[in-house]
Structures are given as structure tokens and as C-alpha cells.
Amino acid sequence: MATDLVVTGMGVVSAIGQGKQGFGESLLAGRSAFGVMQRPGRRREDAPLLGAEFGELAVPEQIPRQLLRTASLSTAAALTVVHEAWEEARLAELDPQRIGLVVGGSNVQQRELVNVHDAYAGRIAFLRPTYALSFMDTDLCGFCTAHFGIHGLAYTVGGASASGQLAVIQAAQAVLSGQVDACIAVGALMDLSYWECQGFRAIGAMGSDRFAASPELACRPFDRDHDGFIFGECSGALVIESLASSRRRGIGGYAALAGWGVAMDGNRNPDPSLRGETRAIRAALAQAGLDAAAIDYVNPHGTGSIVGDETELRALRECGLSQARLNATKSLVGHGLSAAGAVEVIATLLQMRAGRLHPTRNLDDPIDPDLRWVAAQGEAHRIGNALTLSMGFGGMNTALCWRSCA
């Protein structure tokens, strides 16, 4: 049975735009911002790493600068996106005890930790006391609940690259169960250090040597020249509440969350599973009460992984989704890992509201040319029902069905 939940507020930061307006404009224009990564703790002189980093984070002036002194980049990004979503959804109107927060992601502050370790090497006795708090992912919950006065539930959920969508699901379940009236789902910025980047490179997941001299060409989801994902800094927040609550408060929704599916592969290795992906998709469609033919648009996981991309397209075909329009948000923003699912949901809902689909960069030779790709040029397209997909290491597969509120 379909749920009765809507998204009433969103916030986003990414390398192509900070805030929904800037992000949405860049998305529909097909802009990207890939280059050699330069952040301390991530930059490598011996082996330059490609990715998409944003410049100075535009933290809202309402967030005290004193609060930011001990905040990591992941925390500052979470405060920024929650603020945007909070204001749009007018959450200050609600009882603080009826507001929840779910942060999607684990091990999201690795670069921050590497920088602290380097700074205190040889003088560990002088390590700052706040390190006892800041090395934990729950510190993001602490900062956000303290600043916004959230007194309902708050916790983190880890699902690797499926974390953002998993946070949305957990937030939805918190509202449906009556624990809270509104719940904020955050896809946390996974702040990789050079250690994690090297690990991803060693396992064959992260590209790209092939396009080292042309970073703008490196991120190639679903193209035959793909050779791994390209990292992109980003974070997103969505406010989930019941349709009845939003109507009572006179707030319109971006879209209704009609159904979801979660399926595990039962496999610790990073290789994808056709069976797991199809199970998640079919579960989401069943809960939404939709046939595959009713889906107008799919926002796929689409990392640029050689095996992952091919498996995902097989899953779409097997589930009867060949007729849906497809594009790849990661081709513009990169792979945000723990944040990816939340940011790509935001991209989907912005496209639904605009009635337009964004281009897919570098899709020069699709591995399955018969599918209905939106390639170099965006296009007008009314989306009545959409499907968003996220998969994560550890064998996690998630799918969300969205219905237009228009």
C-alpha cells in the first residue's frame, strides 16, 4: 500500500552549486566542476586525484561562527543543508519534541581525522579535548540537534553509498510510526582523505588514469569508456512529513514518497547483485502500488563502475523499466558516497518541479544505447512517477518511488 508522506523542505551543497536554486540551475544547464583535488589531507603530489570539490562553504549567517570553530567540513555542510530545509519546511512551527533527524553515513570525517593526527604527531598529550566527540559520526547529530533545538529522535545510519536513501527510508518510518511529526534525512558529506581514495583506487572502484589530463571527461556513468567513479563533495537534506501535517500547516510538497525497497545481497564483497537490485526495485513498486510502466523517469545509481553500471541496466530491463527516461546525476556532481542518495533524490524532485530533465555528460557511447537516455542535451519531460536507486558496499540495495504532487 502506498504511503502518505511528502517532502516539504530540501537543502543541498555541491561543487556545481550551493543551495537549491544554484544547484538546480547548474543541474539543468549540465554544468560540472571536476578537477585535480586540492584539499589538505586529500591532495597527493605523487598521484593527483580527480574529483569535484566546492570552494568556500556558504554557511548561513544564522549559524554562529563560534559554533563552527570546532566543526568539521562534514558537520558544517550538515548544518548548512539542514538550515535550508528547516527554513523552507517552517519546522520552527512544530513542537521540538516532535521533530527527528536521521544522518545517513558512517566514517564521514576521515580527512578531518587525518589532518588532526598529522597536526598532533609527536605531541599527542596536547590533543584537543573535543576530539573525543568529533571523531564520532554522531557529532553531526549533536551539532544539528543543539543548534536547531531538535528534541525528538536523532541517530546515524550507515549504508555506504546507499546511506542517503537509507536515511530517507528511516525518516519516513519514524513519521509513519508516530515517533515524530516531521523528520529530517541528511546525506552526510563523506570527507575522504588520501587513504580512502587510495583504498578505492586499489580495489578498482575509483577512476581515472585514462582521463588524468582531462578531468572534465573522467566521470562517465554508463559510457563504454567508464573506468570507475569520480568523487564529488556534496550533502543534502530532506524534510519528510505526513501529507495531513503539511496540509494542516499550509505547506506544499515537492513530491510524495509512495514506496521503497531495501534488499541485501548477503555478500560482503563490492560486486553488485542483479537479484538484490531487482528485489529492491520490485519491493518499492509494490509498496507504491505502481506497475513498472507507470514510471516516467529513473534516477539510477550510475557510478561509472564497469560491472556496476551494466548490472544496474540489466536490473532496469528485467523489472520492465526500459520505457522510462534516464540520466545520470553523478556525471555532473560526482559520486558523493554517503550523500549521493539524498542529493540525487533532491535532483529528481527539482526535475519533477521544473518539468525538465538534466543532461548526462560524457555519455558518448552508451553501454546500452536502446534505453531512453537524456544525453548531451536536457529536455522537457513531465514526471508523474519517478524511481531513484542507490546501492552500497556490503551488498545493500535501495529503491524509492516518488509521485508528483502537481
Name the residue ranges covered by the structural domains of the chain: 5-248, 255-404
The alpha carbon of 258 is separated from its chain's Cα centroid by a whole number of angstroms, namely 19
Q: Do 255-404 and 5-248 have the same topology in CATH?
A: yes
Q: Supply the pLDDT for residue 47.
A: 85
Question: Rounded distance, CA 203 to CA 65, Å?
Answer: 40
Per-residue pLDDT of the chain (406 residues; tens, 9 = 90+): 467 999 999 999 999 999 999 999 999 999 999 999 999 999 988 888 999 999 999 999 999 999 999 999 999 999 999 999 999 999 999 999 999 999 999 999 999 999 999 999 999 999 999 899 899 999 999 999 999 999 999 999 999 999 999 999 999 999 999 999 999 999 999 999 999 999 999 999 999 888 999 999 999 999 999 999 999 999 999 999 999 999 999 999 999 999 999 999 998 888 899 999 999 999 999 999 999 999 999 999 999 999 999 999 999 999 999 999 999 999 999 999 999 999 999 999 999 999 999 999 999 999 999 999 999 999 999 999 999 999 999 999 999 999 998 7
The β-bridge relationship of strands 5-14 and 17-18 is: antiparallel
What is the fold of 5-248? Peroxisomal Thiolase; Chain A, domain 1 (3.40.47)
Q: Which amino acid, one-letter code, is at 80?
A: T
Correct CATH for 255-404 of 3.40.47.10, 3.40.640.10, 3.30.70.520, 3.20.20.140: 3.40.47.10
Q: Please, which residues have CB within 8 angstroms of residue 13's CB and are 6 or more apart in sequence?
A: 19, 23, 54, 57, 58, 77, 80, 81, 189, 233, 234, 235, 236
pLDDT at 271: 87
User: What pTM value is reported for the model?
Assistant: 0.97
Helix (H, G, I), strand (E, B) or coil at 269: coil
The per-residue pLDDT for 2 is 61
